[in-house]
Chains A and B, each alone.
Chain A
């Protein structure tokens, strides 16, 4: 069995978000890049499956769409334990573009992992699109995945509970929190071996760019907290009606 894990290169989750002057693009100056947290959990689960005796997993490949500066993120995935990395050499534009690029490398795998969303643009679209493009079934919201003989047993989080489904391979699992307990920390040996593992660079295919970003806005700053004492009920009601306009 061959596993592919899609890897997003996203800003560190503690990054202070800024945009360029006309607010049409994210300002990447001084940003630290990491593996998209959901993808990191997916990779961790893929490694756990590979290490499980009798799972039949022979290799774990990771793939992304990005320019050369994203290779550090792919090498971290190799340090964690992936056997091979593939980079489609292009700036990721929108979900359709990314899915189209990945479609050329995602065929031939028994199990493809995609994170439920990327922690930067939160599009939640690539996994489902990719499965349709390469003609395999996909399951979203997966929080547990086991290989049972020739089938995959998946648990999905649904409103008020969970749903367990059993599917044949090939399969694309769109995973969320819970798929692995915690992202795996790479061991020293893995870090030193990462450079010796294959990292294949693929030329992008021509694809429409269907989305252009009109503008970005930061969430409004939190307003100052106003406190009232117990003898100021009238002022409180006025504030709720006239200032907060919730009454």
Chain B
């Protein structure tokens, strides 16, 4: 067992912390209110190398391990989960899938600008009637010889407007059900693509979420990822890794709320002493800290397994389910510790609580994670 981080991992953690605490904190409340996309921050994070952290350096990525990715995601998410979800989608849903499963030509064309963060990517799996049940895809990609003709609607797409490239999951042979699902890279400015309105979300309001409509969109054959029918396996593999990103995001939301709760409870006085000295508050802090530490260990274990080339699908499901659920609990307690101040925006914890909620829903709900975990137990 070795719980020590390398010097490089610690430097990456510190770099992410410095950026978050110095820059993201400045306008996070304004962007939460205005829903403005954090263009300036995405550009700066790209220059620092945070948008393609685990991509092969041959394709302009950082070549870093998943442990470093978890450390960075936690630090960014402590302050601003809107920015961290943009980062997570680009890193672990888009770049990871292209890096692992695409051809050299596809990587040259699409992965390099994505890894440099000059372009953003989005991952298009969910549909109005296919969320947790990702097998019932209704978006059709019809083989027309040298291209596919795509029709359908994708829902809840993070980075839908800011992305240049979409990784699209669609049905190429409905008779084969999930074995007839195929993945593609689609350029967002392809004729026939339109976006629904910006979703007015409860949290993570500075990330752009839209429905994406495909109306006779031509996708070149060269943009298919793997063979026809590989799409479902592709999506599941990508989501295995994606879960580590969102687990680390939930962890960051929770640990950010804990840090704020600790600081506030040492300052705020009631009945003649800091509220941290009252057992009712002190025990809450202890419970929160244990949950955060457990979530961190689960995240790092899943990342470590991935780095070792070992199976990590169940570990990442455990990390995501646990971290998301405790993020909700810890942020709720952080609001409680702040009392009335916790319920107003200035103190950040109500925002963290709203952000925590989404981590239980997207990239596989907590219930879907429990399906993955339990199926592995009883297989």
Contact = CB atoms under 8 A, between A and B. Distances in A.
A191 B15 contact: yes
Interface of A: 72, 75-76, 79, 182, 185-189, 191-192, 194-195
Contacts of B22: 182, 185
B12 A188 contact: yes
15 contacts: A75-B11, A79-B11, A185-B19, A185-B22, A185-B48, A186-B11, A187-B15, A187-B47, A187-B48, A188-B50, A188-B64, A189-B49, A191-B8, A191-B11, A194-B11
B53 interface: yes
Contacts, number: 40
B7 A185 contact: no
A186 B8 CA distance: 11
B47 A192 contact: no
Contact of A192 (B18, B48, B62): B62
Given A72-B7, A79-B11, A188 B18 contact: no
B62 A188 contact: yes
A189 B7 contact: no
Interface of A is mostly: helix
Interface residues of B, number: 17
Nearest to B11: A191
Contacts of A72: 7, 10
Interface string B29-60: 00000000000000000011110010000000
B8 A192 contact: yes
A185 B10 CA distance: 13
B63 interface: yes
Contacts of B50: 188
A192 B61 CA distance: 12
Interface in B265-301: none
A194 B9 CA distance: 12
A191 B11 CA distance: 7
Interface string B13-31: 0010011001000000000
A182 B23 CA distance: 11
Contacts of B62: 188-189, 192
B7 A75 contact: yes
Given A75-B11, A186-B48, 17 more contacts: A72-B7, A75-B7, A79-B11, A185-B22, A186-B11, A187-B15, A188-B12, A188-B50, A188-B53, A191-B11, A191-B15, A192-B8, A192-B62, A192-B64, A194-B8, A194-B11, A195-B8
A76 B49 contact: no
Identify which of A75, A186, A194, A195 gathers the most chain B CB atoms within 10 Å of its CB. A186
A192 B7 contact: no
B179 to A, nearest CB: 39
Contacts of A195: 8
Contacts of B64: 188, 192
B15 A186 contact: yes
The 9 closest A-B pairs by CB, nearest first: A188-B49, A188-B62, A187-B48, A191-B11, A187-B49, A185-B15, A185-B18, A191-B8, A72-B7
A16 B15 CA distance: 22
Contacts of A76: 11
Contacts of B10: 72
A194 to B, nearest CB: 8
